[in-house]
Chains A and B, each alone.
Chain A
Amino acid sequence: MSFREKTAWISVLSMSGIYGIYFWSVVHYGSRARGFHLGGLLGTIVALVVVQVVLTVAVAIFSPKDAKAPCDERDKLIALRSMRFAYSGLATGIALACFFSGFDPPIVFNMNALLFILVTAEIMRSAYQIVQYRRGA
């Protein structure tokens, strides 16, 4: 498994887990004060950065040669295809968010809906990278 595939796995798993906890708490404690969401979001971002940095460094330590290798043409092609795939999800999500904003939902709902769309698109991007690396290209 290449270093870039491993980092894609780290991205998918860490984002699914950490943002999963965040969105679960938003749904579960949705009626609490606005400050709770801001604090929770800040904690989520910090946790995500720490987990991703620690895991990526750990992977790089075990395969330093792979980690130092620059992206080659196949890595770039896979990254571009994944970005295109994720963009379709992002565009669909934004269109849905625009539609539902017409019902005048609370600002906290709008903020979290947009964040959910962004996180989903990012997970789609990394997941599609993994699929392509598994297929060969």
Chain B
Amino acid sequence: MTLHWWHVLVSYLLTFAVFGALAIGAALRHRAAKRLLATLDPRGDRP
């Protein structure tokens, strides 16, 4: 693999790692909030 391809690979991995981390972080926050809401407001209507 040439040096140029290494730079391409690192660029793509970096981009998908950052956006993956942001997406997973949002999903974890959503799940935690949903669980807490279910405890605090069991009759609440939420998605």
A, B from the same assembly: no
Which residues from chain B sit less than 8 Å from chain A, CB to CB?
A: none
